[in-house]
Structure 1
Amino acid sequence: YFMELVSAQKRMNDSIAKGIEEALSQLKDVYCKIEADEREKHMMSSKLHNQSKQLQKVEAERNEEVERRLEAEEDRKAADKLFEEQRVQLSIVTKDLNRLKQVSDAATYREGKLKKELKDKKAETRELQYEVQAKETESTS
């Protein structure tokens, strides 16, 4: 009877030892999984941090591009405004030049008329001088 009791106790102890070994093995597996999860979590955190930095860099570049485009648009609008102002000024100057040309043409025409009148008056004066000389010559003779 004692042997059976010892044998039963041994089986029970073996069963308990086997259960403890299985529990330890499961505990090791869980610990390995936890370590793997921690490594993966660290890698994911690092990857997320790098992606966040990259996203910030891309966003900064995009903001710079938007700023450059806005400045270019403002420059284009300023150039368009300046062009329009210069076009208006050119139109005014062209009108002024046309008026000056008309005045110049009129003055040239009037000058031509006055020269002709002067020439006619000189001819008339010469004729009168000849007549006066002829009369003086007649009266002295």
Structure 2
Amino acid sequence: MAAGGARPGAAKTGTVLAAALMILVGALGITQGAAAIAKDEMYALVGTYVYKFSLTTWGWIHLVAGALVLLAGLALFTGSVLARALGIALTALVVFANFLVLPYQPVWSAVMIGIGVFAIRALFHNVGPDAV
């Protein structure tokens, strides 16, 4: 057993779970972005919104962020500390983007925020020499 009673296998499992969640968030972000780019009508606009981006712009934001998170999730399998840091930063970016798009898709954004926050927690929780 490692210091503090933690098991090294559990830390590695947490990192693998975070990577899988990041790949899922990335794939869903790509899908979300492609749908918004293809047809603005697929999103329901609720009232007025402070951030005046067109839905096509939001689509490109989600598409690019989703692709980056997917790649960072794949990079986590290498065990790189840089991949972990990029994973945290990029997943936080996706969570923030989904927070901003809440008025357009409240349920979908809430699901994406939940998955993203769980992935970030797993990446932060499993740090140290036994994490990878």
Verify same fold: TM over 0.5. Answer: no
Greater relative contact order (CA < 8 Å, ≥ 6 in sequence): 2
Q: Which has the larger radius of gyration?
A: 1
TM-score by length of 2: 0.27
Q: Which has the higher helix share?
A: 1
